[in-house]
Amino acid sequence: MNYKMTKGKLREEAREQLRFIKFLSRTKRLNAIDQYERTKDCIHVLEDFSILATNDHPETIDHLHMINREHKSYREHALDCKRCQHSLDAMFVFLGHETPEYLFPKKIQKILDLEFGYNKKKRKFEYDENKKIFLSKLPAPMHSNFGSAKARLVYTTNSPIEAGVEEFYQRIKEPLKLRGLTQFGTPYTKKSPNDQEYWQTDCHHKNPNYHTKISIRSRKK
């Protein structure tokens, strides 16, 4: 890669970080994050976003796989941390909206656009300060519009998992008129790397060509 190409890439990544900062401010997400004290285990929403910024769209799929690996500990911590829930949600909503649409199934992209919250008619951002489920993982697709069997859009909540499912239906599925999704299954227990249990429930697309799952995780049931 020559100097001019590298320079152009760095400038675009810098612009992306500036767009992200404006997004945090305009959606009042900065206030939502800052109302909670940051611990040594919390993600730093501004510093860590620099890891996410990319102008290399052909590499975006590998980039998403890397992000999911690197942020695994933060996802586990977010199960007990409202600050990290707000932080991860802001980062992944922005990244998902900025990622080329063809990388996600259409239903997933609709969800990401809704979470982004820009009202084109009113020309302003709208953020639901009362929401209880927060994005903590984007699916890393294998190719085109088809997600891999392990691809997941993951939400985390501090509420009982049943309340998280109810919010998904009321705030996301019904307004977007999402069709072809199964109902969320019976919650089951999983273990984090530090052997702490949490609940998870999944739904997926009824069409076998779309394997991407949507999961909700919580400590409470």
Of 1 and 93, which is predicted with more confidence? 93
Kindly report whether the global pTM for this prediction surpasses the value 0.95. no
- Alpha helix segments (H runs only) across 41-105: 45-52, 60-70, 72-78, 82-98
**pLDDT at residue 170, as a whole number:** 96
Domain ranges of the chain: 3-218
CA-based max dimension of the chain: 55
**pLDDT at residue 208, as a whole number:** 67
Instruction: Write the pLDDT tens digit of every residue in 143-202.
Output: 444 455 568 899 999 999 999 999 999 999 999 999 889 999 999 999 887 778 999 999
Give the Cα separation of 81 and 42 in Å (integer). Answer: 8
Give the Cα separation of 75 and 135 in Å (integer). Answer: 10
Q: Which residue, among 83, 94, 79, has the nearest Cα to 27 in the 3D structure?
A: 94
**pLDDT at residue 104, as a whole number:** 81
Q: Which residues contact 38 (CB under 8 A, 6 or more apart)?
A: 44, 83
Q: Are strands 152-157 and 188-191 parallel, antiparallel or unpaired?
A: unpaired
**pLDDT at residue 144, as a whole number:** 44
Instruction: Write the pLDDT tens digit of every residue in 101-134.
Output: 777 888 888 999 999 998 888 888 888 888 999 9
